[in-house]
Amino acid sequence: MAATIELEQQGQSAAARRSQPYEDLSKRFGGLVVVEYLMNLFGESPKELFSRIDVLVVLDRVKNDSSLFPEAVVAMSDRIKAAGRTRRWTRPKSLDGSAVVDHH
């Protein structure tokens, strides 16, 4: 009985996903592509452990990668996020207060 209910719920959930607008599925696919890209970046790195700063730097570089996201898309995203939050992440700073620059 429980297995039947679970199968029915899975079927309903799959039907709901199929009926979603094309744009929503396109966004989800785009998100999946970016996640896969990030997994490959971290997976191919010789580093075994990544600090919070390491991850934020990689995410910032991916966000600003014009081959993935045209400049206009990044600018629009920044405007939307700035309107919705009070504290914005900034690039890491060194101990002397200057911005950290990674020359890779």
- Note whether residue 13 is domain-resident: no
Q: Which of 6-10, 49-53, 70-74, 88-92 has the highest mean pLDDT?
A: 49-53
- Note whether residue 90 is domain-resident: yes
- Note whether residue 102 is domain-resident: yes
- Count of domains in the chain? 1
- Note whether residue 28 is domain-resident: no
pTM, full prediction: 0.50
Full residue range of the structural domain in which residue 80 is found:
45-104
- Note whether residue 33 is domain-resident: no
- Check: CB of residue 55 under 8 Å from CB of residue 38: no
Per-residue model confidence as pLDDT tens digits over 29-47 = 888 888 999 999 999 999 9
In terms of pLDDT, which residue wins out, 45 or 96?
Answer: 45
- What letter would DSSP give residue 99? B
Per-residue model confidence as pLDDT tens digits over 75-84 = 887 787 777 7
- Note whether residue 78 is domain-resident: yes
Check residue 72 and give its pLDDT: 81
- Note whether residue 26 is domain-resident: no
Kindly report the average pLDDT of the chain as a whole number: 76
CA distance 31 to 28: 5
How many helices (H) and strands (E) in the chain?
Answer: 4, 0
